[in-house]
Amino acid sequence: MTAIPQARNRRTVRVTALCVLAVSALTMLTGCGEEDPDAGTNGVGRLPAGKIQEKSRAAADAAPAVHLAGTVVTGGVTFTLDMRLKSGGGSGSVTSKNSSFKLLRVGDELYLKADAAFWNHGGDTSAGGKLAGKYVKVPQDDPAYKKFSGFTEKDVLLPALLTLHGKLATAGHHEQAGTRTIRVSGDGGPGGTLDVSLEGKPYPLRLVRGGGAGTLTFAEWGKDFPAAEPAKSETVDYGGQLPGS
């Protein structure tokens, strides 16, 4: 009378063992139970590196405004930028080793604001007293206009900056200021790295330029900001080429 229960027990053990094996195999196929890092994201993390960069550039181009901050090294000079940019203008500060100044562009009109030391650096010590602390209108035919206006032009500055060099590849999932990102690298890093948002639109959030040419962060994509011409009382029209141009 005891043979039947024992046979049932053996079948139960075999079925249980098979279930355990099936669950184990399924777990292995799904990444040992690890969460998909792209689950709940905008999906760009699943794309090839070149496509991620392409979508990131498109999102940056389409955004009406952005706030960028960090360093840019060009011609052996390091500039520290804190700029807000949009198609109709831009404003912010630029600092280099020997000087610091503010820029404001409204349409095609560019204004530069700096202290006396900045203006005296050009050799005209009388200029410092006249121009210090004022928004100085930069003539469009002045060499300074071309030199500085690029810092305020979103459609000029971003394409020049958001470029990685060498063979592109993805370099893992990361986080920038609390936002999940996918990183794209050029030549494994020496060509630069770009962190692209996995939340919402695939905006660039952090750029490390190749060759040690600076690091920048991007935020407040699409957030507008005021860019109006300064008051007459705060403005000086030098009427000619600026000192030190």
The residue type at 184: V
Number of structural domains found in the chain: 1
State residue 79 phi and psi, 5-degree precision.
-110, 130
Per-residue confidence (pLDDT) for residue 50, from 0 to 100: 96
In a domain, 201, yes or no: yes
Q: Dump the DSSP string for the chain.
A: --HHHHHHHHHHHHHHHHHHHHHHHHHHHTTTTPPPTTTTS-SGGGS-HHHHHHHHHHHHHH-SEEEEEEEEEETTEEEEEEEEEETTEEEEEEE-SS-EEEEEEETTEEEEEE-HHHHHTTS-HHHHHHHTTSEEEEPTTSHHHHHHHGGG-HHHHHHHHS---SSEEEEEEEEETTEEEEEEEETTTTTEEEEEESSSS--EEEEEEGGG--EEEEE-TT------PPPGGGEEE--SSPTT-
In a domain, 18, yes or no: no
Q: Find tokens 């360093």 and name the residue.
A: 71
Per-residue confidence (pLDDT) for residue 123, from 0 to 100: 57
**In this structure, are residues 138 and 110 in contact, taking their beta carbons and an 8 Å threshold?**
yes
- The Cβ of residue 236 has, within 10 Å, a number of other Cβ atoms equal to 17
Which tens digits make up the pLDDT trace of 178-197?
Answer: 999 999 999 999 999 999 99
In a domain, 179, yes or no: yes
Q: What rounded mean pLDDT belongs to the chain? A: 85
- pLDDT by residue for the chain (245 residues), tens only, comes to 444 555 555 555 454 444 444 444 434 444 455 688 999 999 999 999 999 999 999 999 999 999 999 999 988 889 999 999 998 899 999 998 878 999 999 999 999 999 888 887 655 566 667 888 999 999 999 998 998 999 999 999 999 899 899 999 999 999 999 999 999 999 999 999 999 999 999 999 999 999 999 999 999 999 999 889 999 999 988 776 776 65
- In terms of C-beta density within 10 A (0-12 exposed, 13-18 middle, 19 or more buried), how is residue 192 classed? buried
Lookup: tokens for 150: 């690029």
In a domain, 161, yes or no: yes
In a domain, 1, yes or no: no
Per-residue confidence (pLDDT) for residue 19, from 0 to 100: 46
The whole domain housing 100 covers: 44-224
Contacts 24+ apart (CB under 8 A), 20-27: none
In a domain, 125, yes or no: yes
pTM: 0.81
In a domain, 38, yes or no: no
| CATH classification of the domain holding 201 | 2.50.20.20
Separation between Cα atoms, residue 217 and residue 194, nearest integer Å = 10
Lookup: tokens for 171: 């370099």
In a domain, 16, yes or no: no
Lookup: tokens for 192: 């630069």
Which tens digits make up the pLDDT trace of 90-100?
Answer: 999 999 887 89
Lookup: tokens for 152: 């305020």
Per-residue confidence (pLDDT) for residue 118, from 0 to 100: 84
